[in-house]
Amino acid sequence: MDKFNAYVDANAERFIAELQEACRQPSISAQKVGLEEMAQVVLERLRRLGAEARLIEVEGAPPLVYGELGEGDRTLMFYNHYDVQPPEPLELWESDPFDPQIRQGALYARGASDNKGNLMARLQAIEAWLATRGELPLRVTFVVEGEEEVGSPHLAQFVAEHRELLEGADGCLWESGYKDPAERLVITLGLKGILYVELRAQGAAQDLHSSWATIVPNPAWRLVWALASLKDEEDRITLDGLMDHVAEPTPEEMEMLAAIPFEEEKLKADYGIPRFIRDLSGLELLKKHLFGPTCTICGFKTGYTGPGGKTVLPHEAVVKVDFRLVPDLTPELVMDLLRKHLDRRGFTDVEVVDLSGVRPAKSDPQAPIVRAAVEAARAVYGREPVVYPLMAGSGPMYLLCQGLGIPAFSTGVGHAGSNIHAPNENIRLTDYIEGIKYIGELIRRFGG
Amino acid sequence: MDKFNAYVDANAERFIAELQEACRQPSISAQKVGLEEMAQVVLERLRRLGAEARLIEVEGAPPLVYGELGEGDRTLMFYNHYDVQPPEPLELWESDPFDPQIRQGALYARGASDNKGNLMARLQAIEAWLATRGELPLRVTFVVEGEEEVGSPHLAQFVAEHRELLEGADGCLWESGYKDPAERLVITLGLKGILYVELRAQGAAQDLHSSWATIVPNPAWRLVWALASLKDEEDRITLDGLMDHVAEPTPEEMEMLAAIPFEEEKLKADYGIPRFIRDLSGLELLKKHLFGPTCTICGFKTGYTGPGGKTVLPHEAVVKVDFRLVPDLTPELVMDLLRKHLDRRGFTDVEVVDLSGVRPAKSDPQAPIVRAAVEAARAVYGREPVVYPLMAGSGPMYLLCQGLGIPAFSTGVGHAGSNIHAPNENIRLTDYIEGIKYIGELIRRFGG
């Protein structure tokens, strides 16, 4: 890989300039700003590599950029997104979020890490490969959507309409990742799924004077009682049947957990909490965090919530609840369990509204793509990466990968202080250049 | 009383005009509009009767009007208020709320029923008495405050500073009342008390991504669990010790309940509910409504409550709860029971903030003032009144009356369609004139 790495180093300045160009184009999905323009930028960069590339339209979505190039026994899919989070609050940025500046070895811009830095590193690595090693040793596909930051609302439709573009891939590099505070590359093999619902209860036709609370049902109490049946004071989910479907981590996964550095005291201080739930620590804490399902009240709205007192009997109550799903829970299963659980307890009046759901995704640590990912990390970074068998967060990885039998992993060019989704998002230039080399090494190892 | 009644009839037009004058003066305590001016109107009307009257200042409050006149063995106190509810929403009024109009035998204005109609009827009755029967047969005192519609926040201070003006009264006519849909005069002998609190719980220092719900405590769950310990799904209050303090209605009170007409089907239709709590009906329903304490969620606020989903772990949750207090519960007792109940269950982290409280008030049905009130109603209206031993609502009756050993009752010139606190508030002119005669009869019977 000497020639490859030498090419990357020789072209580092241009690669960084190209990333700056990409970051200069706003592409904010939540605000529908610059998406078509950004899709064109990605399309042209792919075509410049010689890829067969095109825009794919799904009704209601900004164009998805699809590209493929190379030939070989294996296919490696790159999943990325060209949209970014809104830059607000602008006053907290030290420089314009869409005017990428370099300060003290880091590039500051919205999207620098999430996800333009990662997308561009992957594209630059292909260029360097073609320039120094000729043909790619495998087939590469790019799936670059423009709605990841708003929850990928049209990705399922894309998969349904273009399954043939995805099926048969032998591995997928998911969008992003970072180095932890100890500068170890983080590789993640899965994401939790999620079911997001609203529970709604109705009382009288309108708010009443609270003196009627003696005899007129209060929807807020209905929801409190329904919720209290779902989780106990020890934070154990008591929804009938749910825990029966939760897979225990394998011994191999427990070993992976044991190898993950987890700064408990720093986290407690950062979050301002005296203790974690049930006072957990160590491996039990990490096991619950990564392999535990959740049932979370994200919001509760009923009655009067302004200052002081108002003696009102609310006519309606709504609670927003998310369930983070670990293997082998699915949104469909949990919806069904939830409805039955409530009905069994007489809460037939509590409506359950399904707002969204994605399945959990998890890749076999022994899958060739995962082995290649870890080996490439050792080779490029010179030390063992941290491998998370599952992350605490969620994303549509199952939809695009595991659901089609494609093992996937995620890593990228960020660092612990990259401030993704926040002001002063940045990557370090050395991480970016190393990240390009990492992609080259991955292609070499996975392409054989 | 023939001369008295003849005087009232002969002066009816002027009495109505004087009420219109009083209603023309806006006096909105919530908006601090016209209160000084209205206090002057009341003061002058009292002085015109020959009363010794003055304004009493309590710091932060609009002036309270106090007046006394007459001599005799007994003292009858009139408690009224000169402030009114805000007139909004204005667009629903058929005529200007402060330009009293007469339509189809009714006078429409904000305050017509609550409470200027009642206050003026009492003043007019005194005039008629003095004009036709000479000296009053008892001593009469007027306590007319200007903050009833905002919860009488300075009344306790007034009582503390001017106890001597109240003590020793033999009975009190409370501010207002109405005829029921069957045109029977409603007389009430008591009000529930209330304790209004906020329960507050804190989680992390700021809202977090809900993937942290695995290990970071969620204040919304803390409140759900705390609340669920206070009342069960059958709507039974399970707060430790509370029900031990709840007095059963006496046999006499149960008889009074049995005599109260209660239109269950109409109420369910009006409120749009298929059934009352626990499917109660008849005497059990009315007993729970009037003699049952409540624990009501008036509002719950936490996390994200806008449209759609946001996966957030809230950092704070607040629930507003009111307890309606029946004899022998007091706000102080319930605060104490609540704190101990929560602590006993480990909810030491749940803060309880006392927003306000008043004690329940109940008068002995055999008290001379009550007997006089019922007899006067029979005499003037020609039929049996409906006597409520207790109302479902709350007010500061204990503070001014029962706490000082003064039996009290409430009745007035409204009717079932008076729309108090609502647009198109009104009284019927015949009710107003009858109401003046009722006060005359009450004075005669109570004064002896």
pLDDT along chain B (448 residues), means of 10: 94 98 96 97 98 97 98 97 93 96 97 97 98 97 95 94 97 96 96 97 94 97 98 97 97 96 94 97 98 98 91 96 97 98 98 95 97 98 96 94 98 95 95 98 95
User: What is residue B107's three-state secondary structure?
Assistant: strand
Q: Is B217 close to A392, i.e. CB distance below 8 A?
A: no
Indicate the pLDDT class of residue A151, thresholds 50, 70 and 90. confident
**Which pLDDT belongs to residue A309?**
84
Indicate the pLDDT class of residue A239, thresholds 50, 70 and 90. very high
Please indicate if any CB of chain B lies within 8 Å of the CB of A300. yes
> Any idea what DSSP says for residue A247?
P
State the alpha helices, DSSP H only, in B195-281: 219-228, 251-258, 264-271
**pLDDT 10s digits, A320-351:** 999 999 999 999 999 999 999 999 999 999 99
**Which pLDDT belongs to residue A136?**
97
Please indicate if any CB of chain B lies within 8 Å of the CB of A352. no
**Which pLDDT belongs to residue A310?**
86
**Which pLDDT belongs to residue B310?**
86
Q: Is A277 close to B308, i.e. CB distance below 8 A?
A: no
Which strands, in side-by-side order, build the sheet including B171-174?
Answer: B52-56, B64-69, B139-145, B75-81, B171-174, B408-410, B186-188, B386-388
Please indicate if any CB of chain B lies within 8 Å of the CB of A353. no
Please indicate if any CB of chain B lies within 8 Å of the CB of A274. no
- In CATH terms, the fold of domain A193-246+292-358 is Alpha-Beta Plaits (3.30.70)
Asked if B56 and B151 count as a contact pair (C-beta separation under 8 A), the reply is no
Q: Nearest chain B Cα to A216, which residue?
A: B276
Asked if B290 and B166 count as a contact pair (C-beta separation under 8 A), the reply is no
Please indicate if any CB of chain B lies within 8 Å of the CB of A220. yes
**Which pLDDT belongs to residue B188?**
98
Q: A-chain residues within 8 Å CB-CB of B308?
A: 355
Closest CA to B87 of B98, B78, B75, B76: B98
**Which pLDDT belongs to residue B448?**
78
**Which pLDDT belongs to residue A308?**
87
Q: Is B272 close to A204, i.e. CB distance below 8 A?
A: yes
Query: How many other CB atoms sit within 10 Å of the CB of residue A352?
Result: 15
- Mean of the per-residue pLDDT values for chain A? 96
User: What is residue A409's three-state secondary structure?
Assistant: strand
Q: 77-106 in B: which are within 8 Å (CB) of A?
A: none
**Which pLDDT belongs to residue B278?**
97
Q: Which value does ipTM take for this structure?
A: 0.92
> What is the residue-wise DSSP string for B304-317?
--SSS---EE-SEE
Asked if B378 and B144 count as a contact pair (C-beta separation under 8 A), the reply is no
Q: Is B221 close to A235, i.e. CB distance below 8 A?
A: yes
Distance CA A256, CA B108 (A): 77
Distance CA B170, CA B175 (A): 16
Q: Is B299 close to A312, i.e. CB distance below 8 A?
A: yes
Q: Is A289 close to B215, i.e. CB distance below 8 A?
A: yes
Please indicate if any CB of chain B lies within 8 Å of the CB of A246. no
Strand partners, B190: B362
Q: B-chain residues within 8 Å CB-CB of A300?
A: 220, 300-303, 305, 317
Please indicate if any CB of chain A lies within 8 Å of the CB of B246. no
Closest CA to A225 of B296, B300, B228, B345: B228
Q: Name which of A196, A206, A215 is nearest B289 (Cβ-Cβ).
A: A215
Q: Name which of B204, B289, B298 is nearest A304 (Cβ-Cβ).
A: B298
Q: State how far residue B1 is from chain A, nearest Cα, in angstroms.
A: 39
Q: A-chain residues within 8 Å CB-CB of B301?
A: 300-301, 305
Q: Is B297 close to A302, i.e. CB distance below 8 A?
A: yes
Q: Is A211 close to B292, i.e. CB distance below 8 A?
A: no
Strand partners, B106: B103, B428
**pLDDT 10s digits, A289-312:** 999 999 999 999 999 999 988 889
Best probe of the A interface among B195, B280, B313, B320, by most A CBs < 10 A, is: B320
Q: State how far residue A190 is from chain B, nearest Cα, in angstroms.
A: 14
> Any idea what DSSP says for residue B63?
P
Q: Is B309 close to A210, i.e. CB distance below 8 A?
A: no
**Which pLDDT belongs to residue B394?**
92
C-alpha B448 chain-centroid distance: 29
pLDDT of residue A191 exceeding 90: yes
Hey, where are the domains in chain A? Answer: 2-191+360-447, 193-246+292-358
Q: State how far residue B179 is from chain A, nearest Cα, in angstroms.
A: 20
> Any idea what DSSP says for residue B267?
H
CATH 3.40.50.720 fits B194-246+292-358, yes or no: no
Q: State how far residue A266 is from chain B, nearest Cα, in angstroms.
A: 13
Asked if A138 and A72 count as a contact pair (C-beta separation under 8 A), the reply is yes
**Which pLDDT belongs to residue A402?**
97
Q: A-chain residues within 8 Å CB-CB of B149?
A: none
**Which pLDDT belongs to residue A38?**
98
Q: Is B300 close to A312, i.e. CB distance below 8 A?
A: no
**Which pLDDT belongs to residue A217?**
98
Q: Is B212 close to A355, i.e. CB distance below 8 A?
A: no
CATH H superfamily, domain A2-191+360-447: Zn peptidases (3.40.630.10)
Task: Specify the range with the lowest mean pLDDT, choosing from A139-148, A212-221, A415-424.
Answer: A415-424
**Cis preceding linkage at A235, omega within 30:** no
Q: Name which of B196, B214, B311 is nearest A309 (Cβ-Cβ).
A: B196
Please indicate if any CB of chain A lies within 8 Å of the CB of B353. no
